[in-house]
Amino acid sequence: MNVAKSAYRVFSANSSAACTELAKKITDHLILFFFFFFFFTIRDVNTAIMELLVMAYALKTSCAKNIIGVIPYFPYSKQCKMRKRGSIVCKLLASMLAKAGLTHIITMDLHQKEIQGFFSFPVDNLRASPFLIQYIQEEIPDYRNAIIVAKSPAAAKRAQSYAERLRLGLAVIHGEAQCSESDMADGRHSPPCVRNTTGHTGLELPLMMAKEKPPITVVGDVGGRIAIIVDDIIDDVGDFVAAAEILKERGAYKIYIMATHGLLSADAPRLIEESAIDEVVVTNTVPHEVQKLQCPKIKTVDVSMILAEAIRRIHNGESMAYLFRNITVDD
């Protein structure tokens, strides 16, 4: 816990040294305010969530006026849509946080913008794109010869936003061989297509035709260019490794991956090290020091400054619009 000269408190979850380190960086940017606590998603995510709920409830029962959670990577954010007869876990977590006593959340690059609607209190969804774009401009030699790549049509809007601000071309990889998230999320496979032959069969609905993906193609010319793939989360790197191989075959001579949240679970560092990817750039919203030791290709961008500024503005009652200047909804 860091205490400044005026009446503010910043609490940091103690489940991760990286959490404490980023919380320290944030408070170094700050001069004043009151009750905030900082939460970092660690590998044992359920333990981390329980710690978050206990901390929030402890502050609530201590009569804290405002309890603002700083959650750079929101856990279970990928489970934000209906999958068959499953539950929307992200909505459940939002309800639990509200019940525990949180009154405000600061997060970054939610997997889906619609997640903000799950909460009954304000959510500030900050963007990491200005920091990643700055890295491209300052750290990638000859970035003017680069092309922004979406590894799937679903990521095309984000890639287009990057391309427009960097004044670069855009390419889209289509037909990749993984199961599309949207296929499972819209309920088309629920209930299963099994008819009971006894009793009333109900309406005879037409069967949905199975989707067949075309062979992998790259829409756009990447030959002789630097390919920069952008996304919000990089966890299971199989899709990125496959995309890098396709781009190499099409003539790209360097391949970068830019993502906000570097979960990099399982054997991701080894796969990256053995792949055609030249560099993976992620922010410090999730600790990944161990992965960096296993794979020198992984680089980190610090986003503590914007988190600190968001906290300062909330405490002082200032507008948050400044933090979203030149930011599009598609980021």
Residues 156 and 273 in one domain: yes
Residue 105 lies in a domain: yes
**CA 86 to chain CA centroid, nearest Å:** 22
pTM over 0.85: no
Residue 248 located in a structural domain: yes
**Which of the two residues, 14 and 265, has the higher pLDDT score?**
265
CB 287 within 8 A of CB 260: no
Tell me if 256 is assigned to some domain: yes
DSSP state of 229: E
Number of domains the chain is built from: 2
64 shares a domain with 116: yes
Do 91 and 146 belong to one domain? Answer: no
Phi, psi of 21 (to 5 degrees): -65, -45
- Which ranges of 62-102 would DSSP assign to H, the alpha helix? 89-100
Q: Tell whether 224 is covered by a domain.
A: yes
Considering the domain architecture, whether residues 167 and 42 belong to the same structural domain is answered as no
Worst-scoring range by mean pLDDT, 64-78, 217-231, 315-329? 315-329
Q: What is the pLDDT of residues 75-109, one digit of tens each?
A: 998 887 777 667 788 999 999 999 999 999 999 99
Domain containing 83 — which CATH number? 3.40.50.2020
